[in-house]
């Protein structure tokens, strides 16, 4: 605890000065605790962007500095653990961007139609927009994955990690006259999963082995298509946390520890955690194809990064 509630604030709030005040923390870090993070398991909050967090016993990673991530601080997520953080600048935002591209005629041509009244046109537009990503996901899941399928880079909002570079731009390659909306959406989803794998690879390369994945947030809860792809790309199971309010639960766990109800944060996590309600296992056949496509993703990324340096020099 940081200390007790001051007399001034105790009077304003009608509380006792015996109230203990906990130390603040990032929302995502509290979410990782609420999502029952474990040592060497990458805890991924997946929404518009991602926040990827990993904890390891400080004595086991002393002297290890993972290059190119957002940062690592002892005790930043769980006391006594080294907290490490990475993430992607755009995740769900990448899917929303493509939906916005496809929605252009709905927002312009449909709303100006004379065939139906304005209220009906607006209702039709909203219904189509709401159904777009679920339908794209359903159709994309039916596509046979091939080595030469459409390929994308997930840098539509720059690259946060590994190795931050906000000047980088997204790419969609291998397009031809047969490329359709579900195929392009599949490539964008794959790119976000490849970007996630690049983060895991960086941890592994720097001597911090990622043993498993924990998924939280809107995309983790709402998109079985993306989560199955994530498991296939990573060749690793991903467990999805049951709660949609892991940040609030994490804050409650810290508060319970501060209040002395539990001696350690880990004890509060064990007692108050809501556990997991889904787990996605990698498909060996798809994993093999994704492994080859991932190398092409890395190669394309290097080429684009080189061109970006030349353009911005």
pLDDT at 146: 92
pLDDT at 16: 96
pLDDT at 1: 82
Average pLDDT on 164-188 reads 98
* Residue range 15-41, pLDDT digits in tens: 999 999 998 888 999 999 999 999 999
C-beta of residue 68 within 8 angstroms of C-beta of residue 163: yes
pLDDT tier, 62 (very low <50, low <70, confident <90, very high otherwise): confident
Is residue 196 over pLDDT 90?
Answer: yes
Q: Residue 137: which CATH number?
A: 3.30.420.40
Per the structure, how many domains does the chain have?
Answer: 1
Calpha distance 228→238 (Å, rounded): 8
What pTM was estimated for this model as a whole?
0.94
Calpha distance 251→232 (Å, rounded): 33
Is residue 44 over pLDDT 90?
Answer: yes
Is residue 162 over pLDDT 90?
Answer: yes
Give the chain's mean pLDDT: 96
- CA atoms 118, 124, 129, 130: torsion sign: positive
Is residue 207 over pLDDT 80?
Answer: yes
Q: What percent of the chain has pLDDT over 70?
A: 100
Is residue 313 over pLDDT 80?
Answer: no
3-state DSSP of 104-144: HHHHHCHHHCCCCCHHHHHHHHHHHHHHHHHHHHHHHCCCC
C-beta of residue 93 within 8 angstroms of C-beta of residue 48: yes
pLDDT at 312: 84
Is residue 110 over pLDDT 80?
Answer: yes
C-beta of residue 216 within 8 angstroms of C-beta of residue 236: no
Domain assignment of residue 120, given as a range? 1-313
Q: How is residue 184 written in tokens?
A: 């392009």
């Amino acid at each position: 605890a940081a200390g007790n509630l001051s007399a001034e604030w105790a009077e304003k709030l009608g509380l006792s000065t015996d109230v203990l005040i906990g130390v603040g923390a990032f929302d995502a870090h509290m979410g990782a605790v609420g999502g029952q993070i474990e040592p060497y398991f990458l805890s991924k909050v997946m929404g518009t962007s991602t926040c990827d967090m990993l904890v390891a016993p400080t004595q086991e990673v002393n002297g290890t500095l993972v290059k190119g991530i957002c940062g690592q601080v002892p005790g930043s997520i769980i006391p006594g653990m080294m907290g490490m953080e990475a993430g992607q600048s755009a995740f769900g935002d990448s899917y929303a961007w493509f939906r916005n591209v496809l929605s252009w005629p709905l927002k312009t041509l449909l709303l100006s139609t004379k065939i139906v009244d304005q209220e009906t046109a607006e209702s039709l537009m909203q219904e189509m927009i709401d159904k777009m990503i679920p339908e794209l996901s359903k159709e994309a899941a039916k596509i046979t994955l091939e080595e030469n399928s459409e390929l994308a880079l997930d840098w539509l909002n720059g690259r946060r990690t590994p190795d931050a570079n906000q000047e980088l731009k997204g790419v969609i390659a291998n397009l031809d006259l047969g490329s359709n909306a579900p195929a392009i959406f599949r490539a964008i989803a794959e790119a976000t999963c490849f970007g996630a794998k690049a983060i895991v690879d960086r941890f592994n390369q720097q001597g911090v082995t990622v043993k498993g994945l924990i998924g939280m947030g809107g995309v983790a809860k709402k998109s079985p298509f993306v989560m199955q792809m994530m498991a296939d790309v990573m060749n690793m199971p991903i467990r999805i946390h049951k709660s949609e309010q892991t940040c609030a639960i994490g804050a409650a766990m810290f508060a319970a520890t501060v209040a002395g109800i539990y001696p350690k944060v880990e004890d509060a996590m064990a007692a108050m955690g809501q556990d997991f309600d889904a787990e996605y296992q990698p498909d060996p056949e798809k994993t093999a194809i994704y492994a080859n496509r991932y190398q092409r993703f890395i190669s394309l990324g290097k080429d684009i990064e080189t061109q970006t340096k030349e353009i911005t020099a």
